[in-house]
Amino acid sequence: MNIIIPHSWLKDYLKTLATPEKISDVLSLCSCSVEKLEKTADDFLYHIEITTNRVDMMSVSGVAREAAAALKQFGIKAEFKNDPYQIKKPKTAKTIKELTVKVDQQLCPRFSAVVLKKVSIIKSARIVSERLIKSGIRSIDSIVDISNYIMKALGQPVHTFDYDKIVNHKMILRKSLRGEKITTLDGKTFTLPGDDIVIEDGSGKLIDLCGIMGGLNSAVDKNTKNVLLFIQNYNPLFVRKTSMNLSQRSEAAAIFEKSPDPELVMPALLEACNLAKKNANTAGLSEILDIYPNPYKQKKIQLAPDYVNASIGKTLKNQEIITILKNLGFAVKTNDKCLEISVPSWRAKDISIKQDLVEEVARIYGYFNLPSVVPLGLPTKTQAEAKSFIWETKAKNLLSAWGFTEIYSYSFISEILAKISGVETGKLVKLKNPLSGDYSYMRPTLIPSMLQVLGQNTGNFENINIFELANIYLNQPQNLPIQKLNLDILSAGDNFFKIKGYLEALLKIFNIKFTVKAKQTKKEYFDHAKNLNYIAGEKVIATIAKISKKTLQSLAINIPVTAVEIDFEVLTSLANAFKSIKPLPKYPAIIEDLTFEFPHLAYYQEIVDLIKKVSPLITKVNLKDSFKNKLTFRIYYQHPTQSLTDKEISQTRKSIVNNLESKGLRLVGTLSN
């Protein structure tokens, strides 16, 4: 949230000789970010960004308190003055007509009110109107301006109503019913969705959309004589929900939804009463009504100075720590080697544990004063993540160099794509509040959403080769879903063996020893007859297959598609950046070609594996030629330390032939080189 604060107003709460430029620099270094310091004809305006956790700083007084603490740390004399929590209670008299109030405490933890009698609806005092205008708020009249002035000065929204328009002087604060209507001060009429915080009067009319804006039917006008001024603290969840549902944003709503300090309610009410006498010539006040059954109980935190020093990497004296905390409004008691810190009410929402206090000390002391060193004893569990990132980058670079295009598709899929994945929708991770029906489930595989991308681009490109490295989500009924990293590749066209070559090249570059096995897949989107698994030990690293015709038809894709699914977590666990190097053999290899006849379908890799298992003397096997059902393999025989004899070659060849003939193959030709 961004606010504008005039320097002239800041000086009401901050006593210092520091220039606006210096105050701006110090705040930006140790507290809130001053986005711009604007010089006007007679003033300086601070444009400040306030983080959502610091609702206590959404005011002139809140920023002044921070500025005083930060300036002292820079050796500049500064004092926070006119503390609103120290405002004295004014003298009040009993109201002529009793105000009846009924409040739902779950919706409104604190409700306070006072009647301003015989007010004058006139132009505001010059200082009030000028300060509001400089802060970006329009000056309206002597009563409405009180509300905005107090909200800006103290950070507590204030509401004003014409007391005589409230029927029977009765107010019931409750949840709205679905379909109830209210017209707010800006003339807009809203049909409420229900469960909004509202106030009705004695006639049942809604007179306030609480935390958002008051009702037009009880608004202060030029004929108003008696004003009901009331200040509350609301349940922030209801205010936020109503504000978003109705698209009705206001500065009051922005504050209420961040839980302002309930202890600030009475100081704000008292300050408003004092201002009413000066700005609206108020003749008198009623008794002050204050419904506050559960006052703030001060929170106490134990903080060891040694812990602070160990956390920030700097040795501060105990008194330095105490001074910083006291300047921020914390009460401090010293107990042996520990400090007992009492948290002020305005910091109760964002200060809960000792680490929060360490952060307070560090920021006021100055992050720029802390040493730039890595703390000792940090866990090294990030090494695995770093390793994974290295391999991710390597895989992406390789595929990109080979002509593949990286894509990014949504992690959410529709029911149609969910069915293509082959997993029953009841077993998928389903979103509780999906943006639309197209984003109802978390995908258990990358393939369906990648196929959708491929299908959308088939008319635009001749060759489509894409890959995606992303998470998939596997449901666990009794636990959180499993999140796994997968690398999938899709290639349009009849190029199964070409993609197979790229996959094997990738695995070899990652230095992974693998075997290839043909296996019937259970995955609906794969062609059951054409798929290979790449295995290391008992782990399946990857699967390559053609996409089934049924799946392609369901997505209106009329060309064949080859797909590769890689379990990237398994891949990186097996990958090795260090290659083993063997010395070159002293003796040349003996090469011969063996031609076999295949009476039935056989997988090339299975035949190669059978040949290599025969003897360690077989160092390499290549497919040299093929014709119909005949394949010619070129086999390399080599010993690292000696020449091979004809007898050794003959015995090895015989074992190869026996192995393959046992699988139904028949030797039909031999050629030595």
2-82 maps to CATH 3.30.460.10: no
Query: What fold does the segment set 299-369 form as a domain?
Result: Phenylalanyl-tRNA Synthetase; Chain B, domain 1 (3.30.56)
CB 421 within 8 A of CB 445: yes
For the segment 114-152, what is each residue's pLDDT rounded down to a tens digit?
Answer: 999 999 999 999 999 999 999 999 999 999 999 999 999
Averaged confidence pLDDT in the chain? 90
The mean per-residue pLDDT over the stretch 366-381 comes to 69
Q: Is the torsion defined by CA of 451, 455, 457, 462 positive or negative?
A: positive
The proportion of the chain whose per-residue pLDDT surpasses 90, expressed as a percent, equals 66
Identify the helix (H) or strand (E) that includes residue 595.
strand 590-597
How far is 132 from 6, CA to CA, in rounded Å? 9
The mean per-residue pLDDT over the stretch 567-573 comes to 93
What's the Rg (C-alpha) of the chain? 38
590-672 maps to CATH 3.30.70.380: yes
How far is 399 from 405, CA to CA, in rounded Å? 8
Q: Which of 325, 261, 347, 314 is nearest to 69 (CA)?
A: 325
The mean per-residue pLDDT over the stretch 327-347 comes to 92
CB 257 within 8 A of CB 242: no
The mean per-residue pLDDT over the stretch 371-377 comes to 65
Q: Is the pLDDT of residue 266 over 50?
A: yes
Give me 487's structure tokens.
Answer: 């690398």
Reported confidence tier of residue 498, pLDDT bands at 50, 70, 90:
very high
Q: Is the pLDDT of residue 267 over 90?
A: yes
Domain ranges for the chain, please list them: 2-82, 100-291, 299-369, 383-574, 590-672
CA angle 243, 247, 6 (to 5 degrees): 75
How far is 237 from 255, CA to CA, in rounded Å? 12
The mean per-residue pLDDT over the stretch 572-600 comes to 84
The mean per-residue pLDDT over the stretch 170-188 comes to 94
Provide CB contacts within 8 A for 369, sequence distance 6+.
314
Q: Is the pLDDT of residue 385 over 60?
A: no
For the segment 395-407, what is each residue's pLDDT rounded down to a tens digit?
Answer: 999 999 999 999 9
For the segment 421-451, what is each residue's pLDDT rounded down to a tens digit?
Answer: 877 777 888 888 777 767 888 999 999 999 9
DSSP string, 61-97: HHHHHHHHHHHHHTT--EEE-S-GGGPPPPP----SS
**Least confident window among 127-141, 397-411, 491-505, 566-580:** 566-580
Q: What pLDDT is stored for residue 547 in this prediction?
A: 92
Q: What pLDDT is stored for residue 664 in this prediction?
A: 84
The mean per-residue pLDDT over the stretch 82-87 comes to 89
Query: What fold does the segment set 383-574 form as a domain?
Result: BirA Bifunctional Protein; domain 2 (3.30.930)
Reported confidence tier of residue 378, pLDDT bands at 50, 70, 90:
very low
Q: Is the pLDDT of residue 659 over 90?
A: no
- Amino acid (one-letter) located at 494: D
**Least confident window among 190-199, 295-304, 656-665:** 656-665
Give the Å distances, CA to CA, from 515 to 489, 523, 605.
20, 21, 8
Same fold, 2-82 and 299-369: yes
- Amino acid (one-letter) located at 604: Y
The mean per-residue pLDDT over the stretch 208-222 comes to 93
Reported confidence tier of residue 384, pLDDT bands at 50, 70, 90:
low
State the CB neighbour count (10 A cutoff) for residue 513: 10
Q: Is the pLDDT of residue 92 over 60?
A: no
For the segment 522-533, what is each residue's pLDDT rounded down to a tens digit?
Answer: 788 888 766 889
Terminal-residue alpha carbon distance, the chain: 82
Tell me which architecture the domain covering 100-291 has in CATH.
3-Layer(bba) Sandwich (3.50)
Q: Is the pLDDT of residue 601 over 70?
A: no
Identify the helix (H) or strand (E) that includes residue 145.
helix 144-154
Residue 96, Cα to own-chain centre: how many angstroms? 54
